[in-house]
Amino acid sequence: MKRLRLDAIAFVVILGGLGLANLLNFNKPTVSTLENRMLKAKPVLTWESLFSGDYFRDFEDYYSDTFVNRDNIVKICRDIKDSLSLGEPGVTLVVAREQNAPINDAPAATPAPASQTPPPSAPGPAPETGEIRETPGPAETGYTPEPTPTPAPTPEPAREFADDETVAYYLIVDGKAVQLFKFNREGMDYYAEVLNKYHEVLGDKVKLYSVIPPTNSEFVKLRKYADITDSQNDAMDYLRSRLDPGIVTVNVYDALNRHKDEYIYFKTDHHWTALGAYYGYCAFMEATGREPVPLDRYETAKIEGYLGSSYTKTLNKELEKNPDTIYLYLPFTNHEYVMYYGNKPKTADIIDMSYAEGSGDKYLVFMSSGGATWSVIKTDVKNGKKILVMKDSFGNAWVPFLLPHYEEIYVVDARFYSKSSTGLTIPQFIEKYGIQEMVFLFYMEDVNWTKFMNGVENHLY
């Protein structure tokens, strides 16, 4: 009995001590570098939030996110999870809470200095799974109908994209994170329905393309666990049968499968590498009847020691010991790249090496994070060709390869485009700028996710 009382007293003292330490900790963090996401802000007490219960739920999240010594506690939890293996050396199943608008994809209300990450409005793909969707997600949400356009649009405040979380499953195989895929018929049908609506509204005057990068689970040898992930190739065949014949389906799967033994996906991130994006670009060129630029035409650069979205979501030690290298193919076409945050333009770099330093997400080097309301790239290729790419973050590594082929390239991230800022639906945007081609480039987890595609549909009307 005495021992029991001592244990109870020790428990109360430890719990009370931690609670007091947390209460007296006034220097609360706002960003988790370990998890690469924004932490929950302290909620504002209002009568509405009090009586709805939202205040207490939000305060619980805030308390958990800003608890004293939180990162070390998270690492301990990581170690416990890593001990749960599938009984085979080098193989671990990890269940992660995915936010389908990761911090690397969050928009900024105003342009950020070149040396800083644009201020995030929230953690996104999914995803991406990422992707996650990265996604990743995919890991991404805030896909509510846009406000009615106003006659004089003004820059909008940063929006939240990560209120809705989904569960994502990763298989860690020999130091690589494999994002598993579950076929969602409802999501696939809705993707086809949305693209078919775009085709109906735009008609034959705008050529539409569907470009879908698979997740890396389609190309990694999963040993005896291959049956725990659905076939994305079969899912793409299903989509082809549902899309209007006037929409060109680009066969990204076959293009990547021919190079599956190459470094086409990151080990610690749900995105494809720039090499994988190049092969996806080659597939697009083939679908348009044009020749891709040979890879040896590009000068290259690289960034070492990258721990990406899959690591920050799983915090797996095997991934931590196996960081990625980001290989970059530097554009040779003269161009000007302008990102619009609301109505405010900011000249940016297609390959922005300012993101290569520090502990932040180095994938942001592609298109200076690509999270603006909309962007335009004007090149010295005077052929009159204009294309619009509606994308998720997979498009960031893909778009730069288009520069030698188009005079103007317009880029819209489906999560961040705003009719209230531009005063234009996407069909009106296309008409205003005289665009002849449009590409939908979303990785498989976003295609599979109805809430993401709801945001795409909302830009139509």
Query: What is the predicted pLDDT for the residue at 123?
Result: 31
- pLDDT tens-digit map of 275-322: 999 999 999 999 999 999 999 999 999 999 999 999 998 899 999 999
Cis peptide before 131 (omega within 30 of 0): yes
The pLDDT of residue 161 is: 30
Out of 68, 94, 124, a domain closes at: 68
Q: What is the span of the domain harbouring residue 249? A: 167-458
Last residue of a domain, one of 23, 48, 68: 68
DSSP three-state, residue 135: coil
C-alpha neighbours within 13 Å on the C-beta side of residue 179: 41
pLDDT of residue 230: 93
- Give the model's pLDDT for residue 250: 98
- Asked if the structure places residue 137 within a domain, the reply is no
The closest alpha carbon to 173, from 137, 223, 219, 214, belongs to 223
CA dist 110 and 356 (Å) reads 21
Q: What is the pLDDT of residues 377-419, one digit of tens each?
A: 999 999 999 999 999 999 999 999 999 999 999 999 999 999 9
Domain end, chosen from 39, 68, 97, is at 68
CA angle 165, 166, 170 (to 5 degrees): 125
Q: Is residue 139 part of a domain?
A: no
The model's pTM is: 0.73
The pLDDT score that the predictor gives to residue 77 is 60
Number of domains in the chain: 2
Is residue 76 assigned to a domain? Answer: no
Exposed / middle / buried, residue 344 (Cβ in 10 Å: 0-12, 13-18, 19+): middle
Q: Do 62 and 174 lie in a common domain?
A: no
Residue 324 falls inside a structural domain: yes
Judge whether 98 lies within some domain: no
Question: Are both 63 and 186 inside the same structural domain?
Answer: no
Whole-angstrom distance, CA of residue 96 vs CA of residue 148: 36
Of 457, 452, 455, 454, nearest to 134 by C-alpha is 452
CA distances to 205, 240, 291, 388 from 437, rounded to whole Å, are 9, 19, 17, 6
Using alpha carbons, select from 269, 313, 322 the residue that is nearest to residue 36: 313
Strands 386-391 and 408-413: parallel
148 located within any domain? no
Residue 379 domain-assigned (yes or no): yes
Residue 322 lies in a domain: yes
146: amino acid identity, one letter: E
Q: Strand, helix or coil at 341?
A: strand
Instruction: Return the pLDDT at 41.
Output: 75
**Which pLDDT score is estimated for 130?**
35
First to last CA, the chain: 71
Q: Which residues of the chain have pLDDT under 50?
A: 99-165
Q: What is the pLDDT of residue 38?
A: 60
185 and 326 fall within a common domain: yes
CB atoms within 10 A of CB 384: 10
